[in-house]
Structure 1
Amino acid sequence: MSDTRSPIRTYSYLGPQGTFTEAALAQVPEAVGQNWRSVNNVGEALDDVISGRSDGAVIAIENSIEGGVSVAQDALATMPGLRIVGEYLVSVNFVLVAKRGTTLDDVKVVNAHPVAYAQCHQWMDATLPNHGHIPATSNVAAASALFDNDLADAAIAPPGIVAHYDLDVLAENIGDNPNAVTRFLHVSRTTVLPAPTGADKTSLIAELPIDRAGALLELLEQFSTRGVNMSLIESRPIGDELGRYRFIIDADGHIRDERVADALLGVRRFSPGVMFLGSYPRADKASITFDSKYSDEVFVEARDWLRGIITGEPEA
């Protein structure tokens, strides 16, 4: 009898076990019960997808406190062949941990991922005003490094870290904002678009064709004149010369929505460096609202009207 079971799929995430990225991956329905591959950085995770070592990857793209994750934005802009198929939100808070027997008074140097450290700097400055900071590749790696060397006395880590490491929690809820949230993307190689849900987001990267007054305004007008709201727009240097930037854009809606499709056509005519990253369901499932004059029916009627003029159809 032949084996009809589906093959095991592999998903890459920033490890080791216990990271916020792993918590985001746990929300991906198709990743449940599959093989999860822990990697050291965003570039490695995305390269796994491009090379075929993994079927998908989950990466952090934006934090509600620190904004866009630049290393992820740059990787998406420079690694073609990737497509965003979903997004997930993870609430973020932190604890300060140390090896057994360590007290808060013993802490002189703290190991922490730079983004996590930035989100805890008020607590750190108030509680440990003279501390030093050693950057780590991930929040869990910061904690595990306490067992590898004596460079740091404590680490900033996720609250569930003690389930994986024998550590003492010196302080809880040390994040400066209790409402902090990180947005994660599920990235794959597929070119099949998820069906529109009415609560979607479209991501793209666009370059200004020339550095001149009003160029950015013209880019933004491609969306505003079609009634498309942008929930994110951030600039990143292209790197070939000073003053050259690309823009990471999240637009409300799906590429199958007439208004979004028309906006992307405008961007394509305006920016030869445009890169479509994907249309996918919003993590918050919030329905997209827009003025009725930008409905699909209005765009279709306008095209029919124009076609009738060109083909000589008699007006009704």
Structure 2
Amino acid sequence: MSDAPQNEAATESYSYLGPRGTFTEAALAQVPDARGKIWRSVNNVGEALDDVVAGRSVAAMIAIENSIEGGVNATQDALAKIPNLRIVGEYLVKVQFVLVAKPGTTLADVKVVNAHPVAYTQCHHWLDANLPSHGHIPATSNVAAAASLFDNDLADAAVAPPGIVDHYDLDVLAENIGDNDNAVTRFVLVSKTTAIPPRTGADKTSLIVELPDDRAGALLELLEQFSTRGVNMSLLESRPIGDALGRYRFVIDADGHILDERVADSLLGVRRFSPKVIFLGSYPRADKAPIEYIPRYDDDVFIEARDWLRGVISGEPDAS
């Protein structure tokens, strides 16, 4: 049974990195279709995606990118290795942290801090300045860091989300301890559905692409598939394939929808170039920002060019 909000009559489940109170749960709360359904708390990205593959959940909410740390490697690698998954939406959660401890603990009492490695990295300047001699114990999640304070005495305090006090009897020793007030984590909702959400004009297309070989200019050739068609890439990250040194796959977010002519033409170029292309989905951008592009890459331009070529091949008179 889930430890998250649910309705006894619900027949659909959504998986998320738990327990309750995590940033992932906050992202899932933004999904209208998930309201009133069963929420399955899981321990890691692999378990969340396995729920989807096995049919235990209709979708899983997973973190894929952080504005401070960049891409989430575990998520990118899992999406590259587990077939037939699609991203159907993205959601942004502002990342803030507090330092919490069991009642009666003061800041001067803190010698060891429990924190998820990513959270610890985002708070280390504050921790170094205010607790210069502290030790660190890694946790599996931000909420698990706080919960561990009740399980053992290895840590005196924990780095956790601000809402943690709604779930645990803890005192807040310090607020807003993150080093960057603009930190945001991007989450994606992943499903097995092959239905592509309709284009909105404010969309994103995600791919994972392997280079054909390790040679000079190979990456440039990949990038040109997008640049020569006026498609901006909002994310480009490399991940080792793992079968040999120098072999990489690239995680790409392209501005636009697969039904946009310029994006579709880019994907055709990528497919001709790469031995393996994984289409992860086209979906609305979380920020709803309209995609800007140069007018010569408008849909009508691509369509007119195809009509012109068709006319040349069929022997039609040149109307120009």
Q: 1:105 Cα deviation (Å)?
A: 1.2
Cα distance in 1, alignment partners of residues 17 and 299 from structure 2: 40
Residue of structure 2 aligned with 1:241, choices 232, 240, 244: 244
Q: For residue 274 of structure 1, what is the aligned residue in structure 2?
A: 277
Do residues 15 (structure 1) and 15 (structure 2) align? no
Cα distance in 2, alignment partners of residues 254 and 214 from structure 1: 27
Once the two structures are superposed, residues 102-138 of structure 1 have per-residue CA deviations (whole angstroms, 9 ceiling, x without a partner) of 1111111111111111100100111111111111111
Cα distance in 2, alignment partners of residues 35 and 95 from structure 1: 29
Residue of structure 1 aligned with 2:199, choices 189, 196, 208: 196
Q: For residue 3 of structure 1, what is the aligned residue in structure 2?
A: none
Cα distance in 2, alignment partners of residues 101 and 273 from structure 1: 57
Q: For residue 160 of structure 1, what is the aligned residue in structure 2?
A: 163
Q: 1:299 Cα deviation (Å)?
A: 0.4
Q: For residue 27 of structure 2, what is the aligned residue in structure 1?
A: 24
Cα distance in 1, alignment partners of residues 10 and 144 from structure 2: 31
Q: For residue 228 of structure 2, what is the aligned residue in structure 1?
A: 225
Cα distance in 2, alignment partners of residues 237 and 124 from structure 1: 33
Do residues 250 (structure 1) and 250 (structure 2) align? no
Once the two structures are superposed, residues 241-282 of structure 1 have per-residue CA deviations (whole angstroms, 9 ceiling, x without a partner) of 111111000000000000000000100111111110000000
The size of the alignment, in residue pairs, is: 311
Cα distance in 2, alignment partners of residues 72 and 107 from structure 1: 33
Cα distance in 2, alignment partners of residues 300 and 210 from structure 1: 33
SS at match of 2:74: helix
SS at match of 2:126: helix
Do residues 81 (structure 1) and 80 (structure 2) align? no
SS at match of 2:140: coil
Asked if 1 retains the 8 angstrom alpha-carbon contact of 2:209 and 2:250, the reply is yes
User: Unpaired runs of 5+ in structure 2?
Assistant: 1-8
Cα distance in 2, alignment partners of residues 224 and 147 from structure 1: 54
Cα distance in 2, alignment partners of residues 131 and 80 from structure 1: 43
SS at match of 2:176: coil
Cα distance in 2, alignment partners of residues 67 and 20 from structure 1: 16
Q: 1:7 Cα deviation (Å)?
A: 5.6
TM-score (ref. length: structure 1): 0.97
Aligned structure 1 segments of 4 or more residues deviating by more than 4 angstroms = none
User: Which amino acid counterpart does residue 64 of structure 2 have in structure 1?
Assistant: I
Do residues 126 (structure 1) and 129 (structure 2) align? yes
SS at match of 1:155: strand
SS at match of 1:120: helix
Q: For residue 62 of structure 1, what is the aligned residue in structure 2?
A: 65
Cα distance in 1, alignment partners of residues 272 and 156 from structure 2: 55
Once the two structures are superposed, residues 16-50 of structure 1 have per-residue CA deviations (whole angstroms, 9 ceiling, x without a partner) of 00000000000011101111000000110011001
User: Which amino acid counterpart does residue 136 of structure 1 have in structure 2?
Assistant: A
SS at match of 2:78: helix
SS at match of 1:72: helix
Do residues 42 (structure 1) and 53 (structure 2) align? no
Cα distance in 2, alignment partners of residues 35 and 193 from structure 1: 24
User: Unpaired runs of 5+ in structure 1?
Assistant: 1-5
